[in-house]
Amino acid sequence: MSTAVSQIDEVKTTPWAGGHSPFKVEYGKLMMWFFLLSDAFTFSSLLMAYGALRFSAKTWPAADKVFQSVPGTSIEHGAPLVFVGIMTFILILSSVTMVMAVEAGHRNAKKEVAWWMVATVIGGFMFLGCQALEWNHLHSEGFWWGSIPDAEKLGEFFTDPVSTVTAHQFANLFFTITGFHGFHVFTGVIINVIITINVLVGTYEKRGSYLMVEKVGLYWHFVDLVWVFVFTFFYLV
């Protein structure tokens, strides 16, 4: 009998018997990191394609000319990158509120987690609203997938002679990459809404852990980080 017990104990303590993670990371969090890594490769491929086309072209739309208005207001010229600066500030601020939600979760402070999650959701919706305004404005200017302004108006967005080929490349890549990022933001907002509801009904309080808030926080910070690169490639370079 004692031999059988010792054999069972030996099996339980073997490296293949499960137990603690070798990286001391919870399984779900580890899977989130794997997902974010694979998603980073996708964004990297899109941005490298944009960079390759951008720097191989002789002419390219000037960011300070394309993005010089503030959609939704009477400011049509003379405010380069102001609106996208507001968008970026909103998204970064929502990342800060997510940090506060995670920190409150570590203290099992249910009300604080709920309030910070609501603030994060609001920030996400505000960013999406700003992006919708920007897209609508660019569409009214003539930019869209497979569509660019007429030759006369197109010259307003170039510092060099007009090139319809590069203008088409710019429009297609801009709406594809910012749209792909916007889809990630929208997905993150929906997930955050679900997590917020779970916080309010006490799901994580009963579990004794707000680890799910931390997991979605990783996703939200990733979305924020990707926007920094999108902002740099399209609006600054």
pLDDT by residue (tens digit) across 187-205? 999 999 999 999 999 999 8
User: Is the pLDDT assigned to residue 9 strictly greater than 70?
Assistant: no
Distances (CA, A) of 110 to 29, 106, 193, 198, 212: 21, 10, 15, 11, 13
Q: What share of the chain in percent tops pLDDT 70?
A: 88
- Tokens found for residue 235: 């609006």
Mean pLDDT for all residues in the chain: 87
d(CA 236, CA 99): 27
Indicate the angle between helix axes 211-231 and 164-200, nearest 10 degrees: 160
Query: Where does the pLDDT of residue 14 fall: very low under 50, low under 70, confident under 90, or very high at 90 and above?
Result: low
Q: Which pTM was predicted? A: 0.86
Q: Determine the average pLDDT of the residues in 78-99.
A: 93
Q: Determine the average pLDDT of the residues in 94-103.
A: 96
Give residue limits of the domains in the chain: 69-132+168-236
Would you state the pLDDT for residue 29?
85
Count Cβ atoms below 10 Å from residue 79 Cβ, excluding itself: 15
Mean pLDDT highest for which of 75-84, 101-110, 150-159? 101-110
User: Is the pLDDT assigned to residue 6 strictly greater than 50?
Assistant: no
d(CA 102, CA 215): 9
Return the ∠ at Cα 34 (arms to 32 and 38), rounded to 5°.
115
DSSP string, 204-236: HHHHT--HHHHHHHHHHHHHHHHHHHHHIIIII
Contact indicator for 148, 164 with CB cutoff of 8 Å: yes
- Going by the DSSP 8-state scheme, the letter that residue 108 receives in this structure is T
Residue 54 three-state SS:
helix
- Tokens found for residue 203: 């799901």
Enter the CATH code of domain 69-132+168-236. Answer: 1.20.120.80
User: Is the pLDDT assigned to residue 11 strictly greater than 60?
Assistant: no
pLDDT in tens, 32-45: 999 999 999 999 99
Q: Determine the average pLDDT of the residues in 118-122.
A: 97
Indicate the angle between helix axes 110-141 and 82-106, nearest 10 degrees: 160
Q: Determine the average pLDDT of the residues in 82-110.
A: 95
Q: Is 1 exposed, middle or buried (0-12, 13-18, 19+ CB in 10 A)?
A: exposed
Q: How far apart are the first and last CA of the chain?
A: 74
Would you state the pLDDT for residue 159?
65
User: Is the pLDDT assigned to residue 122 strictly greater than 60?
Assistant: yes
User: Is the pLDDT assigned to residue 4 strictly greater than 70?
Assistant: no
Would you state the pLDDT for residue 163?
77
Residue 144 three-state SS:
strand
Q: How many CA atoms lie within 13 A of 23 on its CB side?
A: 8
